[in-house]
Structure 1
Amino acid sequence: MSASTSLKPVLPPEIRARKGGDPIVVLTAYTTPVARLVDPHCDVALVGDSLGMVVHGLPSTIGVTMEMMILHGRAVMRGLSKAMCVIDMPFGSYEEGPEQAYRNAARLMAETGAPAVKLEGGTHMAPTIAFLTARGVPVMAHIGLTPQAVNTLGGYKVVGRGAEAEVLMEDALAVEAAGAFSVVLEKVPEGLAARVSRTLSIPTIGIGAGVGCDGQVLVVDDMLGLFTDFRPKFVKRYAELGKTADDAIAAYAADVRARRFPAPEHAFADILPAKSAAKDPK
């Protein structure tokens, strides 16, 4: 949190209390400058493990490490004054069991100052969520498409159609009962997501889950047009900063090659030594 402000940051109980109220605004952030941009407008800044793909060029989120999440978590916390920071627990840091999950969640919180973590999984992760919340670790759950399980799911597909609908509802009820203060619904059919949102007493945060959720989250690089490797259907581009940056870099390169940059106004004049007085011939 910035030392130059007296704003009170949002905390998990406040997010939980927003159920059924004004929609909750969430964006990812991975760096201090982006955190500063997100902070005035969002309720939550999510340090998502998507940073592995959009910042580090990995093919999926599976290769993200605790050290990467801590590094970026610290950077984001330096840029926040109001929004709540939530940090993803990376693949392999919590699946082994509640004790492993607690050790790593406690480390994320202690080494970054973030007040909450997010982990993927429904019914099978409920005991872990309960273990964490009972020990002072606020948890944002994540069900539906869970990117860390992409190899098991067989791709980034919609989750919750047909017979899967009741399984997803069971997952939602399980993470709520375990003590999660909110739950992300990713790539879930719109009608099902709305039904889950009406059923739960905790807020739902949708990403590709329709307008019926209690809030929405997007990857900031997606909505700004900075990450262009692929574009999910649920992403709305609010800017094309990647194209703007490409044009700017091309103009810079052209100026350097044509010796138009640096121009005189970008350079420093030499400071010549003062001329010594002529010696008296006497």
Structure 2
Amino acid sequence: MKKNSILFIFILLLCIGVQYETIYYTDGSMSAAEYGLMGVSIFLALFYMIPALYFLFRIGKKWELPKKALILSLLGGMFLSGWLSSFANTYIHDLLGVLFPDSAFLNAFESAIVAPLVEEPLKLLPLVFVLALIPVRKLKSLFLLGIASGLGFQMIEDIGYIRTDLPEGFDFTISRILERIISGIASHWTFSGLAVVGVYLLYRSYKGQKDGKKEGLIFLGLALGTHFLFNSPFVELETELPLAIPVVTAITLYGFYQAYRFVEKHNELMN
């Protein structure tokens, strides 16, 4: 009975997300030109989405992770974390605008501060449902579920940005999706992979198992910190040799690699 209730709530939240994420395309507000540009942009995005999904499921099979757990995490990132984050970010933005009107600091750093604190926990929310329905016993499995949720979130966010860029015209929309494809090398999938390992290790520490607490703080800090940097004015710094984005990307990928090494070494930690 408990699992049935959890499953129903999860399906309900997913259905809300599907409606929320698709209503713009079905309400008749888009022109034929916008539909065409949307199609071209999504086609370009598929050049990273399809390989990413292929490797995700291939690794899942290698690590003996149930495919249905991976699918549910991916869908949760797309249609649960996505719309919840959108609402939360909007409400917090409105609240901060009332509390601190015309704040130059918030104008520069609001997205960098708010987005990680809102989105990282909400990207892990699908895993709460998935683990309640399909328990896993390996740390690598948990790591991959976090990556799946982050990837789902990343894909639906990219499609959402295409939609909001449409009024700016063909050149801008195409350039933006190409930019997001390139930046997808180190984006939400890496943040969520780091975050889920960090949160789990801190949870173990809270339960009295002190080993791994330092690593938990480091991995969670990296998830929040790199997300902060990618959303901060730092990445907009212009230098003769491009440095800002490559530096943040390198930090993210290095941290993610260290998390991967940790879960490889301590795969039995959940037993």
> Above 0.5 in TM-score?
no
**Greater relative contact order, per chain length (Cα 8 Å cut-off, separation 6+):** 2
By percentage of residues, which structure has more strand?
1
Give the TM-score, by structure 1 length: 0.23
In proportion to residue count, which structure has more helix?
Answer: 2
